[in-house]
Amino acid sequence: MPLPPRPENLRVFFAGVAVNEACVVGSRRALRWRESAAEWVRPLLARADWRGSWPEGEGPAERWVIDFPPGADERALAQAGEVGRVFQRGGARIVRRGPAAELRIALAKCDRYLATPGGGWRARWRWVPAATLPGRGLVVVARDDEFLAGVLASRWLEVWLRGTGRRLGAAALQRFPLPWAPDAPRGALTRAQEERRTTVVQAWRASGCGDRDLATDDGAAQELAAAVAAAYGWPGAIEAPEALRRLLARA
């Protein structure tokens, strides 16, 4: 029986968006435009950016895109001047509905988000400033939450993906059972959950916060897996088959 998406996850996990290439420019032109239309010209994040690195708290700034928020109207296009005219001449349209619009709205509510290239079994999460638009082929977590980052960076996500036969993508994460709802208020957590949350955050930071790839047998990866297992309420020595069984029981 197909696993349904979890309603609470639909507000958090998104696919990167396709952009009109006519609206994509290099950094020199973008910087000139941003002098008068900074609100509508933003950096564009791509899968290829994972081949290199970028400073923490920043994003790659080699490609930029003209992008208007879902609530923009014809007046915004006119106010944008040359930027608005290029947008219209390229045949681009303001995205007002659907997941791409919901992603833009969600990113506007946070300072940074997590992203990783999709399509594989293992994630490589990086923090990205919310002003940067994630392009096609990326998986996005529209939350600035180190606990959630630690859960998704642990080995249990790969166990879930392989066990359910799903490659890494927004649809798979929308079905992934988390220890508790990603938008659960901190005040709603029990003392035990708060303690487990803190342990996961500490293990995530000790692992490098996504700045390096971790082998499964790496000590930091093992500590993160144990911390996340405790957040689920599992025994520390749990093996992959039993973890998958428990995840499926939550689905």
Residue finishing a domain among 57, 75, 94: 94
Do residues 157 and 231 both lie within one domain? yes
206-229 mean pLDDT: 80
Q: Which two tokens stand for residue 250?
A: 């939550």
Instruction: Tell me: do 136 and 54 sit in the same domain.
Output: no
d(CA 99, CA 232): 29
229 and 164, same structural domain?
yes
Residue 170 sits in which domain range? Answer: 1-16+98-251
Same domain, 113 and 175: yes
Same-domain pairing of 73 and 23: yes
Average pLDDT, the chain: 92
pLDDT value at position 56? Answer: 72
Structurally, the chain folds into a number of domains equal to: 2
Pairing state between β 133-134 and 41-45: parallel
Can you give the three-state secondary structure of 64-90, one letter per residue? EEECCCCCCCHHHHHHCCHHHHHHHHC
8 Å CB contact between 45 and 15:
no
36, 131: one domain:
no
Let me know whether 9 and 24 are in one domain.
no
pLDDT tens-digit readout, 136-170: 999 999 999 999 999 999 999 999 999 999 999 99
DSSP code string of 76-135? HHHHTTHHHHHHHHTT-----SSHHHHHHHHHTT-SEEEEEE-SSSS---EEEETTSEEB
E-state strands within the chain: 13-15, 24-26, 41-45, 63-66, 112-117, 126-129, 133-134, 138-141
Three-class SS state of 33 = helix
For residues 114 and 178, state if they share a domain.
yes
Are residue 62 and residue 139 in the same domain, yes or no?
no
Q: pLDDT tens digits for 90-128?
A: 999 999 999 999 999 999 999 999 999 999 999 999 999
Residues 61 and 182 in one domain: no
